Amino acid sequence: MARDLAELLRQAAHVPAEPLDAGDLRRRGRRLRRRRRVVRGVALTVLLVMVPVGMAGIGYLRSREPGVADRPAVTVPPPPEAPPQRTANAIRPPTRAEGSDEVMPVVFLDGTSAEVVYPKALDLAGLRARPAGSAELAGCCARDFFVPPGGAAWFADAGERLARLSGAGGRQVTVWPAPESEGAGRYLVFQFGSWWVGVWDQAGGSAMTDQQLADWAAHLDGQQTSEGFLVLRPDGPLRLVGPGTAKAAPRLEFGAPDERMVALTLGPCPRASTTRSADGAQLLAETCRPEWAMSVEVHGDPDWVESVLDGLKIRGVRAPP
Amino acid sequence: MDDEADAAAVAFCRRLRPRLVGTLSLISGDPGTAEELSQEALARAWSNWSRLRELEEPAAAAWVFRTATNLASSWLRRLAAERRAVARLAGRSIGGARGEPDLADTLAVRRQVATLPRRQRTALVLRYYADLPVSQVAAVMGCSPGTVKSLTSKAVHALRLGMALGIGEEVRDGA
């Protein structure tokens, strides 16, 4: 008989015997506030000292340039930037018919390609595809790529842009605050064709430094294929996390996880298997075949999940060129 | 902070604390550490109350869970380094449960949860114990909702294999 996982975890979790120590909470909270005030004060002092010194230095240098007094002192303010458009940040991949099936060529972040074959009625392409995966910066950290619905607008919703960085191939990379609901942190935001890709600087319990953010920006290049898929080409100290590792391997997600979703994740499959787990009224199944070189997760109402498991095939898997 | 805001912040922390301590105990495997990290995360919430009070409670709770899981990640990294150092000094590996008297099932679940890779463990506990929706687990972990689904699916599968609990059903076909 299936046992309820949530109940098992509830039994296994530690329940605090003592009630919340509100006095200790306030003491720690006040200490944190004081520390923040001190840090802000130091930062402000540095700013107040450095800005006049810097301006005086610039003024001195300019005063030494010939003819500077004759130049018209007109500055043209940059045009106000329009708020970014909300985009799907997902594509409907092109397909072709093959009898009663539909064939959908797909390309993963690392350039691996394959063909997904399924009965036309399932219309997996109509669920729209979005890539996922991660990369690791040598001496720093691994981070997931985040491709949110809404595209650039998702990042801009959190506040004002913090910085622009020089990206690979002359690309502009921007830095945005993380949304309030996510706490502290910044997102490094890349645009590749119609794709908007974020890298969060806080995952794993530590924040990236400004230099590490600049390294990500400088070493992550990519492009959109003619079919619309995103392929990333990091270089130097930045490497894509490959298939079959504990970190997030290249992956394509179709649909939304709270509704119907099919996700293809590159990785070895030692033996053919299919597993099914209940998730409330929905079913989550994972299936793989050694010849697919990837696992397939299917989530949704049980009948639909079973239809996908029955009809889905993967073929023509090719490693990146 | 005025009295009204203080009362609201403390009430919020009081409501969240049992779930937060439980979550961190499953992620860290150590009840004492869970209580300490929870108190630290809640103190940060108290000190940021002027910002958090503007949010809906689930979003404010997600902020605290994110802070707490980051603290737990840092703690686990330090612990791993300390264990490696101690093991080197002692010339033997270190491991094993703390031997806390408890039901066999409870110990088995704790042991199995502790063996999961950190990302799988965090996703599983946030989703099934803390009862956060997939989108909030994704926000807490800084990954896509699909990745959360994938991590929890793998964690449930690993738990089932490890404990023969009959969570879900497995069918093997082919060679």
- Say if CB A218 and CB A166 are below 8 A apart: yes
* Range of A125-129, A249-253, B80-84, B107-111 with top mean pLDDT: A125-129
Single-letter code of the amino acid located at A17:
A
User: pLDDT at position A60, please?
Assistant: 64
User: pLDDT at position A249, please?
Assistant: 87
Check B139 against A181: CB less than 8 A apart: yes
For domain B3-165, is the CATH number 1.10.155? no
Give the 3-state secondary structure percentages of chain B, helix then strand then coil, rounded to 5: 75, 0, 25
User: pLDDT at position A73, please?
Assistant: 55
pLDDT of B141 above 70: yes
Q: Give pLDDT tens digits for A217-258.
A: 999 999 999 999 999 999 999 999 877 665 678 999 999 877
pLDDT of B81 above 90: no
User: pLDDT at position B93, please?
Assistant: 40
- Say if CB B45 and CB B59 are below 8 A apart: no
The average pLDDT across B59-85 equals 80
User: CB-CB: which of B39, B55, B150 is closest to A28?
Assistant: B39
User: pLDDT at position B169, please?
Assistant: 43
Instruction: Give the residue from chain B lying closest to A275, CA to CA.
Output: B170
User: pLDDT at position B142, please?
Assistant: 75
Q: Find the length of chain A.
A: 321
Task: Tell whether A17 lies on the interface with B, counting CB pairs under 8 A.
Answer: no
ipTM over 0.85: no
B85 phi and psi angles, rounded to 5 deg: -65, -45
Instruction: Give the residue from chain B lying closest to A19, CA to CA.
Output: B14
User: pLDDT at position A211, please?
Assistant: 92
Check A3 against B166: CB less than 8 A apart: yes
Per-domain boundaries in chain B: 3-165
Task: Tell whether B111 lies on the interface with A, counting CB pairs under 8 A.
Answer: no
Check B139 against A179: CB less than 8 A apart: yes
Cα of B67 vs its chain's centroid, Å = 11
User: CB-CB: which of B73, B105, B171 is closest to A205?
Assistant: B73
User: pLDDT at position B2, please?
Assistant: 87
Q: Which residue has the tokens 């997939």?
A: B134
- Give the residues of chain A that fall short of pLDDT 50: 1-2, 68-69, 72
- By DSSP bridging, strand A134-137 and strand A129-132 are unpaired
Check A181 against B159: CB less than 8 A apart: no
Task: Tell whether A55 lies on the interface with B, counting CB pairs under 8 A.
Answer: no
User: pLDDT at position B166, please?
Assistant: 47
Min Cα separation B31/chain A (Å) = 6
User: pLDDT at position B98, please?
Assistant: 41
What does pLDDT average to over chain B?
A: 78
Min Cα separation A219/chain B (Å) = 21
User: CB-CB: which of B103, B143, B149 is closest to A248?
Assistant: B143
Q: Which parts of B48-169 fold into alpha helices (H)? A: 49-52, 57-90, 104-115, 118-124, 134-141, 145-163
Min Cα separation A9/chain B (Å) = 6
Determine if the pTM surpasses 0.90.
no
User: pLDDT at position B9, please?
Assistant: 94
Min Cα separation B142/chain A (Å) = 6
Per CB-CB distance under 8 Å, the chain B contacts of A251 are 146-147, 150
Non-local (6+) Cβ contacts of A148 within 8 A are A89, A154, A155, A196, A198
Q: How many CB atoms lie within 10 A of CB B118?
A: 17
Which comes out higher in pLDDT, residue B156 or A309? A309
Task: Tell whether A7 lies on the interface with B, counting CB pairs under 8 A.
Answer: no
Model confidence at B163, in pLDDT bands (50, 70, 90)? low
